[in-house]
Amino acid sequence: MQGIENLLDNYRRDFDRYLEELMAAQKIQPGLKKAMSYSLLSGGKRIRPILTLLTCQLLEGNTGAARRVGAALEFIHTYSLIHDDLPAMDDDDFRRGQYSNHLVFGEGMAILAGDALLTQAFQLLLEVELPAERRCRLIGLIVESAGVQGMLAGQVMDLEAENREIDLEELQLIHRNKTGALFQAAILSGALCAECNEQEWQALKNYADKLGLTFQIVDDLLDVIGDSSKLGKEVGQDLKRGKATYPALLGLKESRQRAERAAAQARKSLDIFADRAESLRELVDFVLERSS
């Protein structure tokens, strides 16, 4: 684990610097830029952009393009967090160890900061140096993953499932869209910054699906048994809001078992890449064992 933690830390620091450079170059009204930067540059694991870059490197692709795509995905992820924390949504006071955006800048500016991050993400994607056809395919993938067929659909289903009983199939559908879609976009975007055949594409798609599931189950578990000082946010909020989660439906033990099975399936998906995919395999263990 130490090896992957060091690798992720190096990539995270690189992406932090890159995001700072991108924001410094943005010509945006100062108050809005401050609100955007507050959340975008507040830390985080940067797992999604790292996945994009690692996938691209696995396939020996254009790492410069992957870096920019990864940054765009982090813009999108951050927008979703700002909006998630709003009183009309999850009403969370803390994110990444600091006050949520709306508590610092007000609800109106927080909404606009999220909107701006989303739209600026697509500006970044338009500037990715890839052949036009592949760039269009990449943008289409991210639109589908972040929009009404992906993350937004999951958010809607999550809201509609509050304080009512749902079955496992519906829970899986919620999280496949709410969390898994952007994981899949990150990994497959990395593949689109390179060349890969249909077998490799399908393997990476399966990997993304199982990694996203692992991440979400662990996230649900941490809201029950996690340490708020490590998580940077209050625990127990899912139960308080009547959220549909794996522990609420299956209990802690079975939820953990399902996370371990999903992790094993994610690692198995990478068999066709042999030792070349070792970093992606180790990242699965990092996600499974994380405490924040």
* pLDDT single digits (tens) 205-242: 999 999 999 999 999 999 998 878 777 777 778 878 88
CB of 196 closer than 8 Å to CB of 56: no
φ, ψ of residue 165 in degrees (nearest 5): -80, 135
Give the C-alpha separation, 123 to 184, whole Å: 21
- As a whole-number percent, the residues of the chain with pLDDT over 70 amount to 99
Which residues does the chain have with pLDDT short of 50? none
- As a whole-number percent, the residues of the chain with pLDDT over 90 amount to 86
What pLDDT is attached to residue 234? 76
- Reference 175, options 107, 111, 97, 238; nearest CA is 238
Instruction: Locate the domains of the chain by residue range.
Output: 2-289
Strands 98-99 and 94-95: antiparallel
Which distant-in-sequence residues (6+ apart) come within 8 Å of 207 by Cβ?
Answer: 187, 266, 269, 270, 280
Give the C-alpha separation, 140 to 12, whole Å: 26
CB of 190 closer than 8 Å to CB of 56: yes
Strand-pair partners of 94: 99
At 108, is the secondary structure helix, strand, or coil?
helix
What pLDDT is attached to residue 3? 80
Angle between helices 2-25 and 47-58 (to 10 degrees): 110
pLDDT 10s digits, 155-176 = 999 999 988 889 999 999 999 9
Q: Which CATH class is domain 2-289?
A: mainly alpha
pTM of the model: 0.94
Measured between its terminal Cα atoms, the distance across the chain in Å is 15
The encoded tokens of residue 83 equal 């909006």
What pLDDT is attached to residue 54? 97
What pLDDT is attached to residue 1? 66
- Reference 214, options 267, 161, 144, 165; nearest CA is 267
What pLDDT is attached to residue 238? 81
Torsion angle of the four alpha carbons 285, 78, 230, 236, in this order, in degrees rounded to the nearest 10 = -100
- Reference 11, options 270, 286, 263; nearest CA is 286
**Identity of the residue numbered 67:** R
